[in-house]
Chain A
């Protein structure tokens, strides 16, 4: 049974860089037809997709985060890493890692397995 576990600092200072890791267990990290995504949820608010990475290494990022965000995969460690620079209070949220299943056009997909999420608070 596939399991995802997010890890990283719970508290980040403004202007610092956030580094989060998603560790995959119980299933493969590279598999055609699937991809990995990060979704965040500010306290009391809705879900916001922020980034995806495919088995091919292709990445998609939400435009509002622009060049601040970077995703990478370490297949040997079965980890997906997220880096978000220049953190502000607006980045305070629960960050979820999820595995996505692609649609038949293999363009995008829904999220079938989610991690428990990790709360990241931006504060001095």
Chain B
């Protein structure tokens, strides 16, 4: 199985900050990586697929980069609505695997 490791597990930041979340795969997955945002009590929401393709309707302050085994989700200017937990997911092969999540908290 491909292990997905996210860091940090928790991130404290202020509105307006630039924040980055890292996701590392235990083996190469090309760019078959998705990022999701989840708020408490809600289903995850797809933000980015194929490592860098922003889904329709997702604010442009979100961006994704990386390929192979190292990936980054960046929020250029953190907004109040962005405080949530973020997950990466590889879809290179089965079993599909998610990272452990990164909780973005208000500093």
Closest chain A CB from B20 CB (angstroms)? 20
Secondary structure type dominating chain A contacts: strand
Secondary structure type dominating chain B contacts: loop
CB-defined contacts of B32 to chain A, threshold 8 Å: 103, 108
Q: How many residues on the A side are at the interface (Cβ–Cβ under 8 A)?
A: 23
Closest chain A CB from B97 CB (angstroms)? 7
B98 adjacent to A110 (CB under 8 Å)? no
Contacting B at CB under 8 A, from A18-55, are 37, 46-49, 52
Stretch at the interface among B11-19, B38-46, B65-73, B75-83: B38-46
CB-defined contacts of A52 to chain B, threshold 8 Å: 94, 96
Q: How many residues on the B side are at the interface (Cβ–Cβ under 8 A)?
A: 25
**A110-B34, A111-B46, A117-B43 known; A49+B87 contact, CB < 8 A:** no
Closest chain B CB from A121 CB (angstroms)? 16
A62 within 8 A of B: yes
B44 adjacent to A108 (CB under 8 Å)? no
**A46-B98, A46-B101, A49-B97 known; A115+B49 contact, CB < 8 A:** no
Q: Determine the distance from Cα of A48 to Cα of B45 in the docked complex, in whole angstroms.
A: 15
CB-defined contacts of B93 to chain A, threshold 8 Å: 107-108
B98 adjacent to A49 (CB under 8 Å)? yes
CB-defined contacts of A112 to chain B, threshold 8 Å: 46, 49, 55
Sorted from nearest, which 5 A-B pairs have the closest CB atoms? A110-B34, A114-B43, A49-B96, A108-B91, A47-B98
What residues make up the interface of B, taking CB atoms closer than 8 Å to A? 32, 34, 36, 38, 42-46, 49-50, 55, 87, 89, 91-101
CB pairs A–B below 8 angstroms (18 shown): A49-B95, A49-B96, A49-B97, A49-B98, A60-B94, A100-B91, A101-B49, A103-B32, A103-B92, A107-B92, A108-B94, A110-B34, A110-B46, A110-B89, A111-B46, A111-B89, A112-B55, A115-B43
Known: A63-B95, A96-B43, A110-B34. 20 other contacts (CB 8 A): A47-B98, A47-B101, A49-B96, A49-B98, A52-B94, A52-B96, A60-B95, A103-B50, A103-B91, A107-B94, A108-B92, A111-B34, A111-B46, A111-B89, A112-B49, A114-B43, A114-B44, A114-B45, A115-B43, A116-B42
